[in-house]
Structure 1
C-alpha cells in the first residue's frame, strides 16, 4: 500500500468526524448498549482497545492476536462486553455493553490498529445511563488520529473536540 497524501489524511479525518457526530447514547439500567466504532478499512484488526478515559487505566475491552483478552480487561466489565460482530466485517469494531448500570455513565474511547494502516484511530462516545426521562446535557466528544510518517518513522497527531446539544 502506498503512502497517503495530506489530502487523503484530511479526507479520512473529516469522514471520521462525520461518523462520530452521532456518538452520544442514552440508556436505562439493565439495557444492552452498542458502543459504535468503525475502522477506516476492512483490513485485519491487529489491536482493539475500548477504554474509560476518566477512570485511570481502565480497559473496557481488549482484543489482540485475533481474540479478546480478559487479562487486560477491568473486572467491572468482564463478561459484560463482546464484539457486536465477531468477524468485524466492514471494519465494524463496535462492542455491546450488557446490563448497563448508572455507574457505566461516562466516555468510552475506541482505539483501532489494522494490519495495513500504521494509524491508531480514536473514537469517543458518551453514554448516559439514567432511570428517568431523557437527560438533556451538553455533551462533547473528541477524535484524534495518530499517523506514522513512513519515510522518517515519526508520528504526527490531529485532534478535534466538538460539542452537541440534542434537539427537541
Structure 2
C-alpha cells in the first residue's frame, strides 16, 4: 500500500522483468470505465483515458528501459484513493516463434490529509526527515515540566504539613 497527501506527485511502480519491447501498457482502476493511462505502439492514447487523469499521468521512463512501466501521477487528490492495476503486454518477434507475454501488477493508493506517510516513501533530505528529533525534544520537555510540577506540589504539601505541626505549639504557648 502506498500513502500520499493531496497535492503530491507519486510514482505507481510497475516493472516487467523481460527485456522485450512493451506493445501495450494499461493502467486502470476496476471501478472506472476508462483507463488511468493507456499506451500502445509507443503512443499515449488519451482518447481512452479517464478525464480525471488527462494531463496528470506520464511514464516515469519514456523508453521503459529494463521493463519499467511505472507512471508518475501528479497532484494526487483524495479521489485518487483506490486500487490501480498495471497490465503490460510484450511481443518479441523471434525467427522461430512470436512470443506474447502479459504481466499484471496491482497497487493500492491511499490519499489522506493526515501527516502519515510510508517510511520508505520519504525522499532523502526532505524537511520531514527531522520529525524524530522534534518528537524527541517534545517528549523531553514534557518530562521536565512534569518533574518540576511534581517538585512544586511536593514542596507545597511539605510546607503545609510543617505549618500544621507548628500551630498547636503556638496555641499552647498562648494559653500558658
TM over 0.5, shorter chain = yes
Residue pair 2:5, 2:113 contacting (<8 A) in 1 also: yes
Structure with greater proportional strand content: 1
Shift of 1:133: 3.2
- Cα RMSD, aligned residues only: 1.5
State whether structure 2 residue 88 is matched by structure 1 residue 112.
Answer: yes
Aligned residues: 112
Post-superposition, which runs of at least 4 consecutive aligned residues in structure 1 deviate over 2 A? 133-136
Q: Which runs of 5+ in 1 are unaligned?
A: 1-23, 137-168
Shift of 1:102: 0.2
Written as runs of structure 1 = structure 2, the 5 A alignment for 1:9-158 is 24-53=1-30, 55-116=31-92, 117-134=99-116
Q: Which runs of 5+ in 2 are unaligned?
A: 93-98, 119-176
Question: Which is greater in Rg?
Answer: 2
- Structure 1: how far apart are the matches of 2:61 and 2:117? 29
TM-score, with structure 2 as normaliser: 0.61
Shift of 1:135: 7.5
- Structure 2: how far apart are the matches of 1:72 and 1:122? 19
- Structure 2: how far apart are the matches of 1:69 and 1:101? 23
TM-score, with structure 1 as normaliser: 0.64
Give CA-to-partner distance per residue, 1:20-75, whole Å, 9 cap, x none.
xxxx211000000100001121211000000001x132300000011111011001
